């Protein structure tokens, strides 16, 4: 994060645990991401905006729950976020190449 110029807007993306009915949903916020909260850590906030993929239900042992969460489910949700970001920022794949609207990426 220290290498990102202050003029850049950062969208932080992470996986998280949530309510059983929220599994498979995305939590999108205009606030920074608070990483590792579900496992009891107090890490610094990240980003200007955040997207959290609810990959499993929060239970009595959150760290164990994350360790046993289906990697396929996590990767599927990561792909959905990547596709949405590509569409939102104009990086639609066309015949094997990426076209960009000139958005600078770091």
User: What pLDDT, in 10s, does the model give residues 4-43?
Assistant: 888 888 999 999 999 999 999 999 999 999 988 877 788 9
Return the pLDDT at 95.
Answer: 42
Cβ-in-10-Å burial (0-12, 13-18, 19+) of 33 comes to: buried
User: Whole-model pTM?
Assistant: 0.75
N- to C-terminal Cα distance for the chain? 11
């Amino acid at each position: 994060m220290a290498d990102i110029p202050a003029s850049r807007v950062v969208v932080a993306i992470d996986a998280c645990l949530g309510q059983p009915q929220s599994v498979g949903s995305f939590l999108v916020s205009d606030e920074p991401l608070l990483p590792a909260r579900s496992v009891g850590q107090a890490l610094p906030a990240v980003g200007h905006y955040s997207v959290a993929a609810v990959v499993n239900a929060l239970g009595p042992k959150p760290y164990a729950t994350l360790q046993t969460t289906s990697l396929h489910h996590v990767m599927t949700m990561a792909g959905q976020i990547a596709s949405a970001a590509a569409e939102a920022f104009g990086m639609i794949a066309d015949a094997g190449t990426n076209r960009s609207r000139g958005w600078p990426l770091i």
